[in-house]
Amino acid sequence: MTYQGFAAAWPSRTGEYADKLNGMPKYVVSTTLSQSDLTWDNSILIQGDVAREMSKLKQQPGGDILLAGSIRLVQTLLEHDLVDELRLMVYPIVLGCGRRLFEDGSKMTAMRLVESKPVGGGIVILRYVQAEEPIRGMSDSGGRKPV
């Protein structure tokens, strides 16, 4: 869904951001699209066991891999500890419905904040990496320490 949205919007655009985006390799994880559906320049289809394929991709030479949107894919990769950094642009709005990044049943994970930065519109950028050690008092056993 994210790919299709991007592929509809960006190829016809120009400018620094669009040119860069259009030129870079784009890995597309999909169970429904085939390589011939990927009309956006430099799109590469990834199929099969997503966690294994992404793990292989990370070991190939090349720059960092940026993954935007793609909720279901992100949830799968988080579940498999394949995400090195999580960047959130937090918008000052409560939507009240819609798909959430972390749903009930998500794996309990401690994150370490590496940057926080307010920008325009009351939006805050938060950058997290996985914490080396779990937060004290946090456990996966379901127990919760009294505050």
Partner 1 sequence: MRKLIVTEFITLDGVVEDPGGAEGFERGGWAFQFDRGPEGDKFKLDEIM
Cβ-Cβ contacts under 8 Å for 90 (sequence gap 6 or more): 123, 124, 125, 126
Using rule CB under 8 A, residue 85 touches partner 1: yes
Residues 103-132 that bind partner 1 (CB under 8 A): 117, 119-123, 125
Q: Is 128 helix (H, G, I), strand (E, B) or coil?
A: strand
- Residue 57 and residue 59: Cα distance in Å, rounded? 5
Side-chain-facing half-sphere of 68: CA atoms under 13 Å: 8
Q: Is position 143 an interface residue for partner 1 (rule: CB under 8 A)?
A: no
- Segment contacting partner 1 by CB under 8 A, of 34-42, 44-52, 56-64, 136-144: 56-64
Which residues bind to partner 1, rule: CB under 8 A?
Answer: 1, 5, 8-9, 16-17, 20-21, 24, 54, 57-69, 71, 74, 77-78, 82-102, 117, 119-123, 125
